[in-house]
Amino acid sequence: MEDTQFSAGPAPHPLWVVPHWGHESPRRVQPASSIRPGPHVWSFMKPAGKAVVALIACCIAQFVLTVNGSIVSIVLPDIAKEFGSSMTMLQWTVGVYVLAFACLLTAAGNMADRLGRRRILLAGLAVILIGSVVCALSPDVVVLIVGRVVQAVGAAMLASSGLAAVSARSTDTAVRVRAIAWWAAIGGVALAAGPFIGGVVSEFFGWRGVFWMSVPVALIGLALVPIAVKESRNPSPLPFDVVGQLLVSGFLAALAFAMIEGTQLGWTSAPILISLGAAAVLLIVWLLRARRRPDPLIPLRLFADRPFVRASLTSIIGFAAAAGFFYIAPQYLRSIRGESALEAGIFLLPLAIAALVSAQLSGRIVAAGRAGQDLVAGGGIMALGSVMLLLWSDGSLWVEAASFVVFGFGYGLLNDPLSVEELAALPDSEAGLASSLFSTSKQTGQLLGIAVVGTILSAASADFANAYRHVGGWVWMALLVCSIAVAALNIPSLGTRTKTAQARTTTAPDNRPRTS
């Protein structure tokens, strides 16, 4: 005899059958053995609970992709000691992650819009897990750099789908803005907290532990994403521009090679001149080609959107300053101040806390429509921190700590307004592309920041300690200039009330124009 279930309403999944206690007579439904397991396994979870879990899953993805960009800096002295690496190779260990990340973001965004954001989110977590294992087991610096490239492939997939998945989870304006604020805040805090986390982990597990750390975090994300993140995609995705992707990737790679290797090979050497020339040619060819195509890799119409252009430039310059800071600060504490990895990490903890506090404050400011004021304040506070470092970097550690906290507080104000502005530039159906463009701006800025700071130091000496003693002041000056530029770019928007991404005209999933 077949086992039967009884229910007064729609048949639930067999794992979650409950007896009927209503007034209607129970009705016979299909046998439990014949019910195919499906998406209703988690139907017991309320929509609000799913939304929270979805946000947590996306924030985990944002955390793991961002923290891997800064966590390595604090263990660079240990890597150099074990592998005997030069300063240039150490630059590549950090820079290649950012470079590959930036090159692949737009392609990953197109994949997310086409194949589904949840699917790409899951794939990205799996790939970054594999890359982390390769890094942790690397026998030499070359394999380590290869593992960093694999990590970057996964990170690009996470970045291009995470923000889009957060945005797609809710159509309520206030809820969506708060969710984006949390997503952006986690990214900002992860970049700031990377050196602290790396210092603590490496103290107990060695420098390889900073890569093993990503494994359980990625596994948690892989467990949560299928539960609560709903699938979303562009019903009419743009064709993938393979040639355009190759042109943009080639441009970034050639520019990065010239900037990182210029000091060692010589700025007038043939390889550097060829790289710079190739970068210029590739950029020009891409621009000319994009003007003739109806569906270029990056729509040129975006560059007519002033808020988008301003937000993109602010992202590039602001994150160049942040990446330069997070590249030099941990090495400064270890090589100049003589701190251990743990001591340096603890020393940087107040900076991460300041960034978290200011990131939440930033969410409130942006929700009130004052993104311009937020960015001007962020740039100004970062400039103040840079001035303190420029004047008193050789002073007491307490003054140094105060300078770091001030810089971190200003940095924490950047993420939320920039993410909202760039997401607002494209309709909802192209949210994956919008997310990838925002992340591309950030990663391009980080790449430039690492390359410029590394170039300044390498020009003075191959040894970090000697280089800093000669040109450390110029590094802090470069961060000061970038911070002032962030504030100056956004002064024109002080008198206007900025609309959030949800208040601007977008396109609904059914392709009908709508306004929130």
Tell me how far apart the alpha carbons of residues 471 and 469 are, in angstroms, rounded to a whole number: 6
Q: How confident is the model at residue 382 (pLDDT cuts 50, 70, 90)?
A: very high
Residue 506's H or E segment, with its range, is strand 505-507
Q: In terms of C-beta density within 10 A (0-12 exposed, 13-18 middle, 19 or more buried), how is residue 43 classed?
A: middle
Q: Is the pLDDT of residue 40 over 50?
A: no
Cβ contact 190:62 at 8 Å: yes
Q: How confident is the model at residue 383 (pLDDT cuts 50, 70, 90)?
A: very high
Of 262, 313, 284, 332, which is closest to residue 445 (Cα–Cα)?
313
pLDDT at 173: 63
* Helix residue ranges, H only, 397-430: 397-412, 415-423
pLDDT at 108: 81
Q: Is the pLDDT of residue 252 over 50?
A: yes
Residue 515 φ then ψ, to 5°: -130, 130
User: Is the pTM here over 0.75, yes or no?
Assistant: no
What letters, b where the CB count within 10 A reaches 16 and e where it falls short, cover 446-474? bbbbbbbbbbbbbebeeebeebbeebbee
Residue 506 φ then ψ, to 5°: -130, -175
pLDDT tens profile 151-185 = 999 988 887 777 667 666 565 666 666 777 777 77
Q: Is the pLDDT of residue 33 over 50?
A: no
Cβ contact 180:58 at 8 Å: no
Q: Give the chain's length.
A: 516
Residue 413 φ then ψ, to 5°: -80, -10
Q: Which residues pair with 505 in a beta bridge?
A: 515
Q: Is the pLDDT of residue 191 over 80?
A: no
Q: Which residues pair with 28 in a beta bridge?
A: 6
* Helix residue ranges, H only, 229-305: 242-265, 270-292
- Distances in Å between the Cα of 144 and the Cα atoms of 5, 73, 86, 189, 394 are 56, 14, 14, 25, 34
Hey, what's the torsion of the CAs at 171, 63, 108, 102, to 10 degrees?
130
Angle between helices 47-70 and 306-331 (to 10 degrees): 60
pLDDT tens profile 384-415 = 999 999 888 777 778 888 999 999 999 989 88
pLDDT at 366: 82
Structure tokens at 335: 């090589």
Q: Answer positive or negative: Cα dihedral of 42, 43, 48, 49.
A: negative
Q: How confident is the model at residue 66 (pLDDT cuts 50, 70, 90)?
A: confident
pLDDT at 427: 66
Residue 76 — left, alpha, or beta (φ > 0 → left; ψ -120 to 50 → alpha)? alpha
Q: How confident is the model at residue 503 (pLDDT cuts 50, 70, 90)?
A: very low
Cβ contact 30:157 at 8 Å: no
pLDDT at 422: 67
Of 436, 51, 40, 47, which is closest to residue 224 (Cα–Cα)?
51
> What is the secondary structure of 357-384 as a DSSP string?
HHHHHHHHHHHTT-HHHHHHHHHHHHHH
Angle between helices 214-228 and 117-136 (to 10 degrees): 170
Determine how β-strand 513-515 pairs with β-strand 6-7.
unpaired
Structure tokens at 175: 């809820």
pLDDT at 26: 42
Q: Is the pLDDT of residue 461 over 60?
A: yes
Residue 449: CB partners within 8 Å, gap ≥ 6?
A: 319, 320, 321, 322, 323, 324, 325, 327, 482
Angle between helices 306-331 and 76-83 (to 10 degrees): 60
> For 348-372, what is the mean pLDDT?
84
**Number of other residues whose CB lies within 10 A of the CB of residue 176:** 21
pLDDT tens profile 267-277 = 888 999 999 99
Residue 146: CB partners within 8 Å, gap ≥ 6?
A: 134, 138
pLDDT tens profile 202-246 = 988 999 999 999 999 899 888 888 887 777 777 776 677 788 888
Q: Is the pLDDT of residue 355 over 60?
A: yes
pLDDT at 171: 58
Of 431, 454, 436, 449, which is closest to residue 506 (Cα–Cα)?
431
pLDDT at 226: 84
Q: What is the mean pLDDT of the chain?
A: 78
Q: Please tell me the least confidently modeled range out of 302-306, 356-360, 479-483.
A: 302-306
pLDDT at 425: 60
- In this predicted model, which residue has the larger pLDDT, 464 or 173? 464
Q: Which residue has the tokens 């929700």?
A: 367
> For 40-59, what is the mean pLDDT?
62
Tell me how far apart the alpha carbons of residues 80 and 84 are, in angstroms, rounded to a whole number: 5
Tell me how far apart the alpha carbons of residues 211 and 136 are, in angstroms, rounded to a whole number: 5
Residue 62 — left, alpha, or beta (φ > 0 → left; ψ -120 to 50 → alpha)? alpha
Tell me how far apart the alpha carbons of residues 263 and 321 are, in angstroms, rounded to a whole number: 20
Tell me how far apart the alpha carbons of residues 365 and 289 are, in angstroms, rounded to a whole number: 40
pLDDT tens profile 318-343 = 999 998 998 898 888 888 888 888 88
Residue type, 394: D
Residue 287 — left, alpha, or beta (φ > 0 → left; ψ -120 to 50 → alpha)? alpha
Most confident region among 88-97, 151-160, 275-284 by mean pLDDT? 275-284
What letters, b where the CB count within 10 A reaches 16 and e where it falls short, cover 301-317? ebeebebbebbbbbbbb
